[in-house]
Structure 1
């Protein structure tokens, strides 16, 4: 295998690993959401809801807790992941060393940042959709796939330094993962639309 292709595969696998707290927080908020809306039914002066019924207290709390739990596990397994990266490609291992958590506390903090950021980013996406009068469940390409990623990366950057090439890989991978996950959720009856 071409070494550059191998490096991209390793970086891609690590990008997924790094973003797991955000990915699972976002998915958990959808899966376990429902109940009281985070905006408590309030509307702005434009007459449109602040966030809408899709962003709920239960989904927010569960999503953030899932992000923290995954981050904790990553903090515990961080040294082993780093060793695997160094065996696979020392250049990538050194490049992303600052993003790997080596203790349970570091992992918990990064998981909190990624999980909270994902939830906040998704809520910001809902806020923007309401302002443009986009109905709940209607697609807004790219924003639907990346709002939670942008929020997660912004808050995570307060905890760790994220290399630009890792950010680019995360954005590209997320576009494909998000679409695939939505299609699966649609086929399983968890979503009303495939996007």
Structure 2
């Protein structure tokens, strides 16, 4: 049983830079939209005003910084892992925004599941590309934790007026 718990916690550790990256973007209130205000073929914004270059840089910086801290304990390769993971987590987040715009869900609109897990899917792709071994149980555990934490932290961020909606 202890080995199973250790395995799940190791899986969670792998995703800490993605959690930090995903949680840091909302601290940037205004910025230059990544889509530069352009619309997609369907006439809707590609990503929307919520995805900015400044938010992307803050997210990658914070995610990589936590990787630097982790690397002090688990090896220097964590710096590269955290950088790639943070980039892919944000690509997953942007893919989620892209899908939401296609579904005509406005910025700040709710998309249960997509809102909570888009960055996890992106980070997983980044980790797998780097050869980090993630098993299905670790992934499902992290997805469950991400879902619960997303709901909780967004509620807190809403109450602190960091976010305009509680989801």
Return the TM-score normalized by structure 1: 0.80
Query: 2:60, 2:87 within 8 Å by CA — same for their partners in 1?
Result: yes
Matched, 1:40 2:36: yes
1:179 is aligned to 2:154: no
Instruction: Number of aligned residue pairs: give it.
Output: 166
Alpha-carbon distance in 2 for matches of 1:14, 1:73: 16
Of 71, 83, 91, the match for 1:112: 83
CA shift at 1:149, angstroms? 0.5
Distance in 2 separating the partners of 1:153 and 1:164 = 11
Give the CA deviation at 1:164.
1.7
Distance 1:59 1:167, change over 3 A: same
Residue number in structure 2 paired with 1:170:
142
Inter-partner Cα distance in structure 2 for 1:111 and 1:158: 13
Q: Pairwise CA RMSD of aligned residues?
A: 1.5
Pairing partner for 1:128 from 79, 84, 99: 99
- Which aligned segments of 4 or more residues in structure 1 are displaced greater than 3 angstroms? 6-16
Deviation at 1:146, TM superposition (A): 0.2
In the other structure, the counterpart of 2:58 is: 62
8 A contact 2:64–2:86 mirrored in 1:
yes
- Is the CA contact 2:11–2:134 (under 8 Å) kept in the aligned structure 1? no
Find the structure with the greater CA-based Rg. Answer: 1
**How many angstroms apart in 2 are the aligned matches of 1:71 and 1:12?**
19
Answering whether residue 138 of structure 2 is matched by residue 142 of structure 1, we say no
Unaligned runs of at least 5 residues, structure 2: none
Are the equivalent residues in 2 in contact too, given 1:33–1:57 (CA < 8 A)?
A: no
TM-score, length-normalised on structure 2?
0.92
